[in-house]
A = this chain, B = another copy of it.
Amino acid sequence: MYKIVSIPGDGIGPEVVAGALAVMNRLAEKHGFTIAIEEHPFGGASYDLHGEMLTEATLEACRNCDAVLLGAVGGPKWESLPHEHKPEAALLKIRRELGLFANLRPAKVYDALIDASSLKADVVGGTDFVVFRELTGGIYFGQPRGYDENKGWNTMVYERYEVERIARIAFEAAQKRGGRVTSIDKANVLEVSQLWRNVVHEVHRDFPEIELSDMYVDNAAMQIVRNPKQFDVIVTGNLFGDILSDIAGMITGSLGMLPSASIGKSHALYEPIHGSAPDIAGQNKANPIATIASVAMMFEHSFCMPDIANEIYQAIETTLAEGLRTADIANAGQSAVSTTEMTAAIVKNL
């Protein structure tokens, strides 16, 4: 029996989360386990109800469940709020409060969608790597920080234990994958990167069978575009990971299809990497695949059921192979299916 907190959030969030829950329910039925789903408000939806993007009640529910499933947050309605009330601030707070120190973003190309990439098919085809982005440290949270009329300042800081724990899980992931880790930093300029690099190499001693290489962030950004197939596991800090994982998602041509997992010592949160897409919200047009794939990550990482994760990925591939496309991935002239039709097809293929 798994206890899941569902946070539909804003925009298309509720629609794509509904799709993901349908998939979960089908799997529970098929495999005979029980899933208890508790829904909580977050983001704009929470602000409108409670005057806060993230209430103590939602946070407490997240602390007391096996996994959190998040749709999307934010929208034009809440963009002019003061900084500390914005959805971004709530996102950072939930990451920090739940200790979600590792953000996993697979960059995998769906063969059926290869032509959607801005990269040439032969460059991008077969790409399959994962970015481990440190998520609760670095310049996102470093003190001192602030700005006044004439100056702005932030602090990029890492402590040894923060680097150790993210490096460790990146090496562990490489053991189950291609056995290669690329650690990305800017050690030729930044002292914080020198600490990062030293600690990653120390942790590497416990994983002698894994091949470790270092790459500067500027070069890494180029290399992902030049030859994405060269990577297996990438591990990097919060800010560099923010930038690189977005490039990684983009080159696959499936940006609207990619899931993510944010993992800590005792909590985990799963969400699509796309945003709340307010322009198509409520129209039954959104692509639920990224959120459904996030459920696959949940089965793999939180429930240790990689077989069920594979069943989900399989069902997605089959559905794409059948030719079904939501509007965002339809070719010119191809008729698009709705969110609920795509969901139903994937559920049927499970």
Query: In the complex, A321→B191 CA distance in Å?
Result: 46
Residues of A within 8 A of B (CB): 83, 86, 88, 92, 118-120, 123, 139-140, 142, 145-147, 149-160, 186, 188-196, 217-219, 221-222, 225-227, 239, 242-244, 246-247, 249-251, 255
Check B156 against A156 for contact (C-beta < 8 Å): yes
Kindly provide the distance from the CB of A65 to the nearest chain B CB, expressed in whole angstroms.
27
Query: In the complex, A158→B192 CA distance in Å?
Result: 19
Residues of chain B within 8 A of A217, CB atoms compared = 242-243
Residues of chain B within 8 A of A192, CB atoms compared = 147, 152-154
Check A188 against B86 for contact (C-beta < 8 Å): yes
Residues of chain B within 8 A of A196, CB atoms compared = 152
Copies of this chain in its oligomeric complex:
2
In the complex formed, the residue of B with least CB distance to A158 is B152
Supposing A246-B221, A250-B222 touch, asked if A152 and B195 sit within 8 A by C-beta, the answer is yes
Supposing A123-B118, A221-B246 touch, asked if A140 and B189 sit within 8 A by C-beta, the answer is yes
In the complex formed, the residue of B with least CB distance to A156 is B154
Check B222 against A225 for contact (C-beta < 8 Å): no
Query: In the complex, A152→B197 CA distance in Å?
Result: 11
Query: In the complex, A107→B190 CA distance in Å?
Result: 26
Most buried by B among A142, A160, A189, A217: A189
Residues of chain B within 8 A of A246, CB atoms compared = 218-219, 221-222
Query: In the complex, A120→B121 CA distance in Å?
Result: 9
Check A160 against B153 for contact (C-beta < 8 Å): no
Query: In the complex, A158→B152 CA distance in Å?
Result: 5
Query: In the complex, A158→B150 CA distance in Å?
Result: 8
Residues of chain B within 8 A of A153, CB atoms compared = 142, 155-158, 191-192
Kindly provide the distance from the CB of A320 to the nearest chain B CB, expressed in whole angstroms.
21
Residues of chain B within 8 A of A255, CB atoms compared = 222
Query: In the complex, A243→B210 CA distance in Å?
Result: 27
